[in-house]
């Protein structure tokens, strides 16, 4: 998979247009930044840093939730974020009109060229972020797009209205059983694959590492094409700090595997390439 890497990255000053609270510490901030919005593809990310006093010095990476504005090209990007530290807490105080440092688009987007009969979005928590935009970019008819959303509880389910508006089938799993199935999104995936068999959908996944590890065990043995958008802490976002490595399968490397920079070669990888346990050398 070589598609999706954005060859042109722009540093821009964005303007905060709105900052909507969704509950459970999650927000959607809308930024006016036409020079970046017009190039964004699903799962591309941007590095953001507030220019207001007191904002932490290092920018933070955020997947783009959706794009909007403009008759022919997008002029705005929306970022779904959860308050987890000082940077996101500062973002939650934006009310509109603030100027923001924005670097992007960065990384490799989802490959949207699939002609599978069904598309499945496997989301864990805030990992739901890239899917509204992806759903609109895919060729799959909305009635054959299925969101499998796993969250801690009913109160941590957000943005479902976006998927309802697109006519997407939504299936929920919560850890405490307060909404949908008591369990996780990978259990929903396993059931769905049985339900759709012998058809094989294309799966797009975004969420925490335990979700990816569990999903790999379901999709790889069945040969289900699956793209995973990995989450990682990122200091630079463009390959300079070497702080976001992931072991991946690579038949052309001497040992059959190597480390990849998630910010440059990812965040999207084919599921069968991601190695959560490094292969043991066969001889010495």
For ligand FES, the binding residue among 9, 235, 247, 272 (CB under 6 A) is 235
Spell out the alpha helix ranges (H) of 124-276.
131-137, 160-165, 185-196, 209-222, 262-265
Q: Residue 244, interface with ligand FES (CB under 6 A)?
A: yes
Which residues, including other chains, have CB under 8 Å from residue 20's CB and lie 6 or more apart?
Answer: 27, 28, 29, 30
Beta bridge partners of 205: 122, 228
Q: Residue 239, interface with ligand FES (CB under 6 A)?
A: yes
Helix/strand/coil percent split, the chain, to 5: 25, 35, 40
Q: How far is CA 256 from the centre of its chain?
A: 27
Burial class (CB in 10 A: 0-12, 13-18, 19+), 142: middle
Q: Residue 58, interface with ligand FES (CB under 6 A)?
A: no
Residues in the chain: 284
Q: Which stretch binds ligand FES (CB under 6 A): 88-96, 126-134, 139-147, 241-249?
A: 241-249
Nearer to ligand FES, 103 or 236 (CB): 236
Q: What is the 3-state secondary structure (H, E, C) of 101-140?
A: EEEEEECECCCCCCCCCCEEEEEEHHHHCCHHHHHHHCCC
For ligand FES, the binding residue among 230, 234, 248, 268 (CB under 6 A) is 234
Q: Which stretch binds ligand FES (CB under 6 A): 29-37, 116-124, 193-201, 238-246?
A: 238-246
Nearer to ligand FES, 60 or 162 (CB): 60
Nearer to ligand FES, 1 or 235 (CB): 235
Q: Which stretch binds ligand FES (CB under 6 A): 104-112, 121-129, 234-242, 247-255?
A: 234-242
For ligand FES, the binding residue among 51, 58, 84, 241 (CB under 6 A) is 241
Q: Residue 274, interface with ligand FES (CB under 6 A)?
A: no
Q: Residue 50, interface with ligand FES (CB under 6 A)?
A: no
Tell me how far, at minimum, the Cβ of 232 lies from ligand FES, in Å: 7
3 φ/ψ angles, rounded to the nearest 5 degrees = -70, 160
For ligand FES, the binding residue among 17, 77, 236, 271 (CB under 6 A) is 236
Q: Residue 263, interface with ligand FES (CB under 6 A)?
A: yes
Number of residues that bind ligand FES (CB under 6 A): 12
Q: Residue 102, interface with ligand FES (CB under 6 A)?
A: no
Nearer to ligand FES, 243 or 256 (CB): 243
Tell me how far, at minimum, the Cβ of 105 lies from ligand FES, in Å: 15
Q: How far apart are CA 79 and CA 85, in angstroms?
A: 16
Nearer to ligand FES, 21 or 240 (CB): 240
Spell out the alpha helix ranges (H) of the chain.
34-37, 86-91, 131-137, 160-165, 185-196, 209-222, 262-265
Q: How far apart are CA 97 and CA 252, in angstroms?
A: 50
Using CB under 6 A, which residues numbered 166 to 205 contact ligand FES? none
Q: Interface with ligand FES by CB under 6 A: which residues?
A: 234-237, 239-244, 261, 263
């Amino acid at each position: 998979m070589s598609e999706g890497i954005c060859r042109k990255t722009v540093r821009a000053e964005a303007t905060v247009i709105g900052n909507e609270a969704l509950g459970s510490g999650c927000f959607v901030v809308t930024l006016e930044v036409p020079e970046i919005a017009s190039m964004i593809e699903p799962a591309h990310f941007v590095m953001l840093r507030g220019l207001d006093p007191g904002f932490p010095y290092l920018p933070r990476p955020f997947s783009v939730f959706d794009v909007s504005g403009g008759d022919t090209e997008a002029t705005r990007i929306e970022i779904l974020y959860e308050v987890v530290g000082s940077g996101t807490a500062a973002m939650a105080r934006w009310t509109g009109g603030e100027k923001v440092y924005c670097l992007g688009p960065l990384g490799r987007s989802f490959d949207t060229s699939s002609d599978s009969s069904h598309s499945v979005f496997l989301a864990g928590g805030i990992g739901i972020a890239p899917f509204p935009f992806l759903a609109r970019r895919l060729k799959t008819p909305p009635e054959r797009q299925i969101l499998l959303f796993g969250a801690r509880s009913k109160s941590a389910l957000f943005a479902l209205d976006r998927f309802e508006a697109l006519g997407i089938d939504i299936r929920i799993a919560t850890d405490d059983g307060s909404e949908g199935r008591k369990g996780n999104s990978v259990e929903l995936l396993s059931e769905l694959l049985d339900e759709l068999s012998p058809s094989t959908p294309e799966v797009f996944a975004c969420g925490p590492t335990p979700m990816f590890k569990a999903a790999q065990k379901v999709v790889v043995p069945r040969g289900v094409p699956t793209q995973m958008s990995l989450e990682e802490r990122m200091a630079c976002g463009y390959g300079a700090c070497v702080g976001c490595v992931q072991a991946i399968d690579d038949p052309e490397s001497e040992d059959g595997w190597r480390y990849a920079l998630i910010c440059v070669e990812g965040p999207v990888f084919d599921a069968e390439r991601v190695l959560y346990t490094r292969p043991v050398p066969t001889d010495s």
